[in-house]
Amino acid sequence: MLTATLKSVLARKLRLVLSGLAVVLGVMFVSGSFVLTDTLDRSFKDLFATAYSEVDVEVAVKSKVGQDDPEAARAGTLTAADVAAVESVDGVRTAVGDVVGSARPIGENGKVLTTSGAPRLGIAWRDEGQEEIRDGRGPQRDDEVVISAYLAETGGFQVGEQLSVLTLEPKRTFTVTGIFGYPGDRDSLGGELTTAFTEATAQQLLLGTPGAYSGITVRADEGVSQTVLRDRVQGELGDAYQVKTGEQLAAESADEIGEGLAFFNYVLLGFAGIALFVGVFIILNTFSIIVAQRTRELALLRAMGASRRQMITSVVVEAVVIGLIASVVGLGAGIGVGALLATLFSTFGGGSLHLAGIAVPPSAIISSFAVGLVVTVVAALLPAVRASRIPPVAALREASTPDRPLTRLTVAGGVLTLAGGGLLGFGFADGTLWLIMSGLLVSFVGVALLTPLISRPVVSLIGRLLSWSVPGTLGRRNSARNPRRTAITAAALMVGISLITGVSVVLTSATTSMTKVADTQIKADLIISGESSANGQVGGTFAADRMDRITGTPGVESAFGWYNDGVLVNGERRFATAVTDVPAMERIFGLSAAGGTITDLEDGEIGVDAVSATALNLRQGSTATVQTTKGEQRTYTVAFVLAESRVVDDMLFLPESAVDGFALPQISSAFIKADQGADVADVRKRLEPLFADNPEVSVQDLSSYVRQQAAQLDTVLMMIQVLLALAILIAVLGVVNTLALSVVERTRELGLLRAIGMRRAQVMRMITVESVVISVFGALLGIVVGTALGVAAVRALEDMGITDIGIPWAQLGGYLLISAGIGVVAAILPAIRAARLNVLQAIAHDSA
């Protein structure tokens, strides 16, 4: 029996390849994710080990609000006296004050250089530091800088050229006197852009305080361990300072990146899971078709005395063989893809991140085989059971088993869809991810079971659009003749399309809501803001003195700006805002008070909006303790509580006097209302020169500001589309698979058609129509299900400010068109195969 099974697998290589390919792609995704994240993880560990290789102990000021900003340790600064104190500690060989802060170099096109996540740093140059001059010399004057080789390469800068840099202060221009690299011939440690100033300049520009240091790097005497030295330094300085060993810092940084990578890995695995879920549909369908086609062969085995168990075993063994082969191939391909992506990441993404060697973590191997085998076998179980139910007498019957009624299937589908919808409902209600995920899976299976019933009317409707010719009619009828097969094939496509549609609906609704709020509630004509918000990096703020010049500009009726920072309110981390002109905000944002009056806040007063009032349990007149990043903790009294508003959501207002305690006492955005009848474009032209020295800040009208915010959502959508593309690719394989198997099954029919005069091109058109009908049906299902999912999610997200449902009609139409195109592409190979059939052999073909 086993031999017979294996021979049957080998005899039908096409089947092996087609059903295996879906698993190969899924497994490839899984193992690729593991290899990629493992490689990056080890690369980053290397990176931090190098970065801290010449640090035994490092001293910094402890953050008062419990979070360190990696780009600029602005929690507080150290003084030369602190450095001297550390230097005097027994066992310290050297103690050097560091100056590190944010410095954004401006490229030759006048725009600020960006990285994909790595910081843009400014440091004070140390001849004895780990940086090694490659060309030129270190900075000696206040208008000289040296730059990292990676920055020189990115911006195309050379020694002797001018370089402008944004720091805490607006644009300043320096002469590049040298280019430096890092040990091991690295251009950068991990893709960061570094500019090194003289110490005095760095202290002024990066820390805003002459004579200040952001940290102290300590090297130990021979024979003094890092931990011993750390404890001694800590003892000398006291608890206000954070003292850590180099090893500790390297491990902490690596862990932080590792957590990010682990999350990234989960995201990739989630999408791999979707792809594999789609793969289950494909394999199930393939095995079902094959069992149906082999009915007579299997019945013969039964007639000869094979038991039901043996029939099941035979199909499952076939699945195991396919699963094993597919896992091996998928693992191999995944290692390749992971290595390729890691290389791409190090070349384009993270700058010059030095890749640790590509290795295959055990997790990749284990998960590949587990996933490949489980998916294949689970998908084959149902067809296996069906094979075992074939009665021996079927061997004698003319093939073509009558279509079984769909009642049981439909009832099961209905129940599952409802159950899935319920799970989703609960999941959305309290944001439980696993409930949402299992709800999605269950409802997909439920809808898939319902599709055979839906397929009859819908397929015939879609088909009618395409059946203006005889081949078209035949193709349409072919796609309707086996509702289960068409349905599962279409359902596989549905999964990917519905997820994309769901996400599009949510994101479009977010944009719609945003636009609506902007149109109806915000009376600002112009908005001044930095591009920092776009990539989450520091930069794009401006000094408070610009606010006066904005309000003084002709044509400006009123304006306000705000400062932002994280604070601790009653020990809880919150986001705080200080507004330069609260009444102006009240007018421009259309706010009203639920308690107290909205006025500029006096020292010791805070304002809260409805959401944060509830969250922090505050009322007008109640008190709260607030700890800012740099200031002292103090008690504030609530001066006003805002009524619910769609513009202001979960905000806490501090008086302008509190910004001295902010990490960066600069304005991040300003909202401007123009005079009645003033030409907004003119006002904008008058405001722009105020920021000529700050290319990170732009003056925009409201609609382009909203568009810019919305554009960020487009990036999210694009990434999700790319990640779901694999699920769709697998579904396309499913269409190819179904068509190829149908062509084999209908060989004699095709022969007959050719014999009575059907041209090759007509045969191909017939197959193509069938394919397009299946694909468009799948896309329609996906769009309907996805829209329902999206609308449900939007309803659930109402609290998060997504209040208006937006349906991206153009995108949905695009998905339909794409799926029609997918149908055409999927039909190519089966159609060629069908057209090439030898007429004589086809007619003589044994269909059983």
Asked if residue 763 lies in contact with residue 828, where contact means CB atoms within 8 angstroms, the answer is no
Q: How far is the CB of 767 from another protein (least distance, A)?
A: 14
Concatenated DSSP letters of 474-505 = HHHHHHHH-HHHHHHHHHHHHHHHHHHHHHHH
What does residue 706 show for φ and ψ, rounded to 5 degrees?
-65, -40
CB of 456 to another protein, least distance (A): 13
Residue 93's CB is within 10 A of a number of other CB atoms, namely 13
Q: What is the distance, to the nearest Å, from the Cα of residue 476 to the centroid of all Cα atoms in its chain? A: 40
Distance in Å, CB of 462 to another protein, minimum: 16
Length of the chain: 848
DSSP state of 62: P
Tell me which stretch binds another protein (CB under 8 A): 348-356, 470-478, 602-610, 640-648: 470-478
Q: At what angle do helices 362-388 and 246-293 cross, to 10 degrees?
A: 20
Contact by Cβ (8 Å): 176, 160: yes
Residue 471 contacts another protein per CB under 8 A: yes
Question: Does residue 461 belong to the site contacting another protein (CB under 8 A)?
Answer: no
Among 762, 768, 811, 819, binds another protein (CB under 8 A): 762
Burial class (CB in 10 A: 0-12, 13-18, 19+), 222: exposed
DSSP 8-state code for residue 399: S
Count CB atoms within 10 A of the CB of residue 52.
23
- Which of 482, 577 has the CB closer to another protein? 482
**Which residue of 93, 111, 619, 759 would you call a contact of another protein, by CB under 8 A?**
759
- Per CB under 8 A, the list member of 437, 593, 839, 848 interacting with another protein is 839
CB-count exposure of residue 73 (10 Å: 0-12, 13-18, 19+): buried
Residue of 474, 638, 735, 792 that binds another protein (CB under 8 A)? 474
549/759 with CB nearer another protein = 759
Q: CB 368 → another protein: shortest distance, Å?
A: 43
Nearer Cβ to another protein (2/840): 840
Give alpha helix (H) positions in 52-114. 80-87
Considering only residues 104, 386, 574, 754, which one is a binding residue for another protein as defined by CB under 8 A? 754
Place of tokens 């029939």: 311
- Check residue 468 for interaction with another protein (CB under 8 A): no
Residue of 393, 418, 755, 817 that binds another protein (CB under 8 A): 755
Q: Which is nearer to another protein, 234 or 460 (CB)?
A: 460
Is residue 219 within the footprint of another protein (CB under 8 A)? no
Nearer to another protein, 478 or 694 (CB): 478
What b-and-e string marks burial along 529-550, b requiring 16 or more CB atoms within 10 Å of the CB? bbbbeeeebbbbbbebebbeeb
12-20, 215-223, 750-758, 774-782 -> range binding another protein (CB under 8 A) = 750-758
What are the DSSP calls for 534-567, one per residue? Answer: HHT-S---B-THHHHHHHTSTTEEEEEEEEEEEE
Question: Shortest Cβ distance from residue 402 to another protein (Å)?
Answer: 8
CB of 481 to another protein, least distance (A): 5
Task: Single out the residue of 658, 439, 669 nearest to residue 531, CA to CA.
Answer: 669
- Residue 478 near another protein by CB under 8 A: yes
**8 Å CB contact between 113 and 105:** yes
Cα–Cα distance measured from residue 276 to residue 270, given in angstroms and rounded to the nearest whole number: 10
Strands (DSSP E) found in 221-375: 241-245
Q: Rule CB under 8 A: choose which of 499, 526, 753, 784 binds another protein.
A: 753
Tokens of 805: 């449902």
Stretch 501-560 residues interacting with another protein (CB under 8 A): none
Q: Which is nearer to another protein, 433 or 756 (CB)?
A: 756
- Position 558, amino acid: S
Kindly tell me which residue out of 748, 801, 818, 825 binds another protein, with binding defined by CB under 8 A.
748
User: Min. distance of Cβ 847 from another protein in angstroms?
Assistant: 7
Is 262 among the residues that bind another protein (CB under 8 A)? no
Q: Measured from the CB atom, is 41 or 749 closer to another protein?
A: 749
Q: How far is the CB of 765 from another protein (least distance, A)?
A: 11
Nearer to another protein, 376 or 467 (CB): 467
Q: Of the listed pieces 210-218, 333-341, 469-477, 591-599, which binds another protein according to CB under 8 A?
A: 469-477
CB of residue 646 vs another protein: minimum separation in angstroms? Answer: 57
758 binds another protein, rule: CB under 8 A: yes
Task: Decide whether 710 or 848 has the Cβ nearer to another protein.
Answer: 848
* Ramachandran region, residue 451 (left: φ > 0; alpha: ψ -120 to 50; beta: rest): alpha
Closer residue to another protein (CB): 3 or 400: 400
Bridge partners (DSSP) of residue 653 are 577, 607
Report the residue number, 62 or 759, with the smaller CB distance to another protein.
Answer: 759
Residues near 549 by beta carbon (within 8 Å), at least 6 away in sequence: 690
Which CB atom, from 166 or from 753, has the smaller least distance to another protein?
753
Beta-carbon contacts of 171 under 8 Å, excluding residues fewer than 6 positions away, are: 106, 164, 165, 693, 694, 695
Q: For another protein, which residue of 2, 470, 719, 817 counts as binding (CB under 8 A)?
A: 470
Distance separating alpha carbons of residues 512 and 516, to the nearest angstrom? 6
Among 134, 219, 477, 686, binds another protein (CB under 8 A): 477
Minimum separation from the CB atom of position 391 to another protein (A): 20
Q: In the stretch 44-83, what mask flags binding to another protein with x, by CB under 8 A?
A: ----------------------------------------
Of 455, 483, 487, 472, nearest in space to 767 by CA: 472
The C-alpha atoms of residue 113 and residue 153 are separated, in whole angstroms, by: 12
Q: Is 787 in the site for another protein (CB under 8 A)?
A: no
Q: In terms of Cα–Cα distance, which of 621, 587, 628 is closest to 607?
A: 621
847 part of the interface to another protein, by CB under 8 A: yes
Contact with another protein (CB under 8 A) among 392, 760, 797, 825 = 760
573 or 759, CB closer to another protein?
759
Query: How many residues make contact with another protein (CB under 8 A)?
Result: 24
- Kindly tell me the burial class for residue 700, based on how many C-beta atoms sit within 10 Å of its own C-beta (0-12, 13-18, 19 or more): middle
Q: Which is nearer to another protein, 370 or 470 (CB)?
A: 470
**Alpha carbon of residue 172 to chain centroid:** 36
Q: Rule CB under 8 A: which of 362-401 touch another protein?
A: 400
Burial of 351 (0-12, 13-18, 19+ CB in 10 A): buried
Identify the three-state secondary structure at position 73.
coil
Among 11, 304, 433, 756, binds another protein (CB under 8 A): 756
Q: C-beta of 708: minimal distance to another protein in Å? A: 55
Region binding another protein by CB under 8 A among candidate stretches 408-416, 594-602, 732-740, 838-846: 838-846
Binding of residue 481 to another protein (CB under 8 A): yes
The residue within the footprint of another protein, chosen from 238, 357, 571, 757 (CB under 8 A), is 757
**In the complex, least distance from residue 476 CB atom to another protein, rounded to whole angstroms:** 9
Site for another protein in 396-435 (CB under 8 A): 400
The 3-state DSSP class for residue 646 equals coil
Nearer to another protein, 478 or 532 (CB): 478
Residue 635 β-bridge partners: 625
Question: What CA–CA distances, in Å, run from 18 to 49, 194, 326, 378, 731?
Answer: 47, 51, 11, 17, 12
Least distance (Å) between residue 153 CB and another protein: 60
- C-alpha 351/C-alpha 194 separation (Å) is 12
Please give the residue ranges that form the binding site for another protein (CB under 8 A): 400, 470-471, 474, 477-478, 480-481, 748-749, 752-760, 762, 839-840, 843, 847
